[in-house]
């Protein structure tokens, strides 16, 4: 099952894999990390001018890490804007994904959070450092193999 964007990408010879449609019928594509930067630029030129959301998750214990991008094409006078969901998977031992900050500026903090929580390194990100956890924190809290340190929390005292 192929969506519109997938067909368009095939026409222009861009490598990707179609992951079907999500529950809202939004086309989902997988793109390799090494292709992601060029494809992101192409998608921006195609018209996806709005990064609606960026998130990341740990696929499986010992498996891949995924970075997810929801893109929307905002135009005047359009009721139902085109949307697409891009997933980029990276191996756990060296998770490197090119940053799309230079394409969609709004990915700045989102990618920092993904870095903070899952340890995905976004290449060319202008300021990739922890955003939620203290800077001296060790480990990536949202990975499935993360073991929380036995810290004394304030709620222990209450």
Partner 1 sequence: MAATSISMVACTKFSTLGWIGGGKREVRKRRVLSVSAQQDAEVKETQQMKDEKVEKEQVKKQQTPLRPVERQVNVKSKNMSAQMGGQWLSSVTRHIRIYAAYIDPETWEFDQTQMDKLTILLDPHKEFVWTDDTANMVFSYFQELVDHYEGAPLTEYTLRLIGSDLEHYIRKLLYDGEIKYNMDARINRKMDGRKIEVHSPINFMSLGL
Rounded least distance, CB 133 to partner 1, Å: 9
> Side by side, which strands form the sheet with 50-58?
17-21, 27-31, 83-90, 65-72, 50-58
- Decide if residue 151 touches partner 1 (CB under 8 A): yes
Complex with partner 1: residue 23 or 151, whichever CB lies closer: 151
- Decide if residue 154 touches partner 1 (CB under 8 A): yes
Q: How far is CA 64 from CA 8, 148, 149, in A?
A: 27, 21, 24
Query: What SS3 class is residue 78?
Result: coil
d(CA 104, CA 41): 9
d(CA 141, CA 146): 6
Rounded least distance, CB 151 to partner 1, Å: 5
Query: What SS3 class is residue 77?
Result: coil
**Residues 111-140 within binding reach of partner 1 (CB under 8 A):** 134, 136-138
Complex with partner 1: residue 79 or 153, whichever CB lies closer: 153
Rounded least distance, CB 158 to partner 1, Å: 6
Query: What SS3 class is residue 38?
Result: helix
- Decide if residue 94 touches partner 1 (CB under 8 A): no
Rounded least distance, CB 129 to partner 1, Å: 14
d(CA 67, CA 119): 11
Rounded least distance, CB 148 to partner 1, Å: 11
- Decide if residue 148 touches partner 1 (CB under 8 A): no
> What residue ranges bind partner 1 (CB under 8 A)?
134, 136-138, 149-152, 154, 156-158
């Amino acid at each position: 099952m192929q969506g519109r964007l997938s067909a368009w990408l095939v026409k222009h010879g861009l490598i990707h894999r179609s992951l079907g449609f999500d529950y809202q019928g939004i086309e989902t594509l997988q793109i390799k990390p090494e292709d992601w930067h060029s494809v992101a630029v192409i998608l921006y030129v195609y018209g996806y001018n709005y990064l609606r959301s960026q998130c990341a998750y740990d696929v499986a214990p010992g498996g891949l890490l995924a970075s997810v991008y929801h893109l929307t094409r905002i135009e005047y006078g359009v009721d139902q804007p085109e949307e697409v969901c891009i997933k980029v998977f990276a191996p756990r031992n060296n998770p490197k994904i090119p940053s799309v900050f230079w394409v969609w500026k709004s990915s700045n903090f989102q990618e920092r959070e993904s870095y903070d929580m899952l340890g995905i390194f976004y290449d060319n990100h202008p300021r990739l450092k922890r955003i939620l956890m203290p800077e001296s924190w060790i480990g990536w809290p949202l990975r499935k193999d993360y073991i929380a340190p036995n810290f004394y929390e304030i709620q222990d005292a209450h």
